[in-house]
Amino acid sequence: MADQVIQRDSSDSQRLLRIGAIGGLADPATAVFQYFVATGGVRQGTFIHRDRDFISALLAYARTNPRLTRYQQDRNAVAPGQ
């Protein structure tokens, strides 16, 4: 996980731009997701006289474990709809 303020208004410390990222790996034998990553940013004090309002954006990706997909396909072949 990483988090960093990359811009701060010199006249008002509440107005800032912050970016961050997070990622994780899991055991491929047991986990639903093998890995995930997410990154994004937050802009606080975007508009004049609205110093506590913020705008944020996030992008995320997760890789589903192929073992789970194979299990579901095998289960559907034996008992469709269950």
Average confidence (pLDDT) over 9-33: 90
Q: Which two tokens stand for residue 79?
A: 């008992």
Segment among 48-52, 56-60, 64-68 with least mean pLDDT: 48-52
The residues spanned by each domain of the chain are 2-78
Average model confidence (pLDDT) across the chain: 91
pLDDT reported for residue 13: 78
Q: Which two tokens stand for residue 39?
A: 């990154």
**What are the start-end ranges of the H helices in the chain?**
66-78
Please say if the pLDDT value at position 60 is more than 90.
Answer: yes
Note the pTM of the prediction, 2 decimals: 0.72
Contact partners, residue 2, CB within 8 Å, separation at least 6:
20, 21, 22
